[in-house]
Amino acid sequence: MTVPTGTTVTTVTTDLTGSCLIGGAAVRGTHGEVSGVNPVTGETLAPSYGLVGIDEVDHAAELAWTAFASYRKTSPAARAAFLETIADNIAALGSALTDRVIAETGLPLPRVLGETGRTVGQLRLFAAVLREGNFHGARIDAAQPDRTPLPRPDIRLQSIALGPVAVFGASNFPLAFSVAGGDTASALAAGCPVIVKAHSAHPGTSELIGGAIRAAVVHHDLPEGVFSLLYGSGAVVGTALVTHPRIKAVGFTGSRGGGLALVTAAANRPEPIPVYAEMSSINPVFVLPGALAHNAAGLGEQWVASVVTGTGQLCTSPGLVFVPEGPAGQAFTAAATAAVQKLSATPMLTAGIRDAFDRGATRFREHAGVRNLTDRVSDSALVVGAAPQLFATDAAIFLADPALQEEVFGPASLVVTVRDTAQMVQILAGLEGQLTVTLHTDADEPGCAELLDAAELRAGRVLFNGWPTGVEVVSAMVHGGPFPATSNAQGTSVGTLAIDRFLRPVSYQNVPAALLSEALQDDNPLGIVRQHNGQFARE
């Protein structure tokens, strides 16, 4: 990847050591070890990574807490420059990074390059957020000393950083949702030090990115505890992080079981903290009669293309599609089945993910009310691979068995035939919370407005005439949703609103002018938009 002209790249090593980064120190854990494994060849990749224990978690957390005192007071411009240096350092890793990602994940080069670009872009996006300044949430209600019967005091508000944040790397996005992913970028932007628990499936990738962040910390002369990277078991290191009194929030992307364990641990602390866990979503698609009438076969083929993107290992992979019964619905299903039969198996990220996928697909195959459309099983030509699989049932069977709503993480999806659009509305209203709901429909088609009403209560993002795979990193994006899609539907892990998860509002009443932060000073030295006596203005 080319580094943009005029950027500053600090010295970043591409040598892998197998060590954690605890503040400024490289530490080799002594509580076991883990190695990356190539899912295509089965090769164990050097080096091995030493796993840390509770003592190392405590040290990293104390360093983060010490760093927080000064890091939260750094100017938005200084934090923006820090994020941009991280982005430049990651871009400068070039083929050393892409080669390692491919070796550890089996992902194709275009996907890895795209995800690298997204990771770098997220960091630069949050740098722009810091310079623009709306994240402060600054409000000023000036004093009214002559108000009767009582005078009004001067009251001002801004959002401040929560404190050190624990981030858990995701298996399916080794870059964009991992060490320097959206959780880390938004937390660092907010003024929060970050401790990342690396995912064991891509330890070398994690070390390379961790080194890029560490080099930026040194370059900007920031406290060493602003960033740490740990390798360790979820049961030990994960629990120790979430329950450590210095940690004030958690970002997680992974399974429902893993996310709920963290939520429970955080809630049972003497001081409960928020856990922003993205967990489980089947991203239902509803194809209405008008859309089918125009392009049943084409929609069936497009749906399959979305299902198999990334070997189905995306948070937004469509695991359910609802189509009207009758000839048009049959044409959709036939086209989808034909499209799948042309596809070969592709690598999955880990053996554990592949095994879980096989169990889920087997559950569908053995269900008395479900038809197997493809009769495919995992391809033994790949060490860790999976072939796409499609299944079909009808609305009555689907409604009678909640287990058919369970996520099968991988290239599998279920077609459900329904009586009419009214039954679609009924089904959607009863589904669990989702990251996305997709509607394919003609404009002004009967029932469309009712489906939209139901969809916005069930998902964080509602799509019309598209496919849910592919998440734009823009200000208007929401990547979140009602439980169990996420543990907190009020946040998003993608887009500029992600920074709000790691901030909290504070009011300042009659604070002397000399003690006010720049965001709240009368002359507005930051030049940001503020709400002043109820009116938004840049003054």
Could you give the CA distance from residue 306 to residue 398 in angstroms, rounded to a whole number? 22
Mean pLDDT for 516-521 is 97
Evaluate whether residue 339 is within a structural domain.
yes
Domain check: are 141 and 214 in the same one?
yes
Evaluate whether residue 478 is within a structural domain.
no
Cα–chain center distance at 458: 18
List C-alpha distances in Å: 380 to 37, 351, 417: 17, 12, 33
Evaluate whether residue 507 is within a structural domain.
no
Q: Residue 295: which CATH number? A: 3.40.309.10
Domain check: are 298 and 193 in the same one?
no
Q: Per the residue annotation, which of 104, 207, 224, 315 is the catalytic one?
A: 315
Domain check: are 216 and 331 in the same one?
no
Q: ∠ at Cα 352 (349, 357), nearest 5°?
A: 85
Q: Residue 108: which CATH number? A: 3.40.605.10
Domain check: are 29 and 165 in the same one?
yes
Q: Answer whether 325's CB lies under 8 Å from 417's CB.
A: yes
Known active-site residue 278: yes
Domain check: are 355 and 381 in the same one?
yes
Domain check: are 130 and 240 in the same one?
yes
Domain check: are 142 and 172 in the same one?
yes
CA atoms within 13 A on the CB side of 120: 22
Q: Per the residue annotation, which of 84, 224, 278, 432 is the catalytic one?
A: 278
Q: Answer whether 336's CB lies under 8 Å from 303's CB.
A: yes
Per-residue pLDDT tens digits for 412-471 = 999 999 999 999 999 999 999 999 999 999 878 899 999 999 999 999 999 999 999 989
**How many of the other CB atoms lie within 10 Å of CB of 330?**
14
Report pTM: 0.94
Domain check: are 380 and 405 in the same one?
yes
Domain check: are 182 and 48 in the same one?
yes
Mean pLDDT for 152-169 is 98
Domain check: are 181 and 268 in the same one?
yes
Evaluate whether residue 119 is within a structural domain.
yes
- How many domains in the chain? 2
Evaluate whether residue 537 is within a structural domain.
no
* Block residue for tokens 């189905």: 312
- Cβ neighbours of residue 131 under 8 Å, at least 6 residues apart? 76, 77, 80
Could you give the CA distance from residue 181 to residue 170 in angstroms, rounded to a whole number? 9
Mean pLDDT for 462-490 is 96
Per-residue pLDDT tens digits for 386-418 = 999 999 999 999 999 999 999 999 999 999 999
Domain check: are 221 and 333 in the same one?
no
Query: Which structural domain range is residue 245 located in?
Result: 20-34+41-278+491-501
Evaluate whether residue 104 is within a structural domain.
yes
Domain check: are 273 and 289 in the same one?
no
Evaluate whether residue 303 is within a structural domain.
yes
Evaluate whether residue 469 is within a structural domain.
no
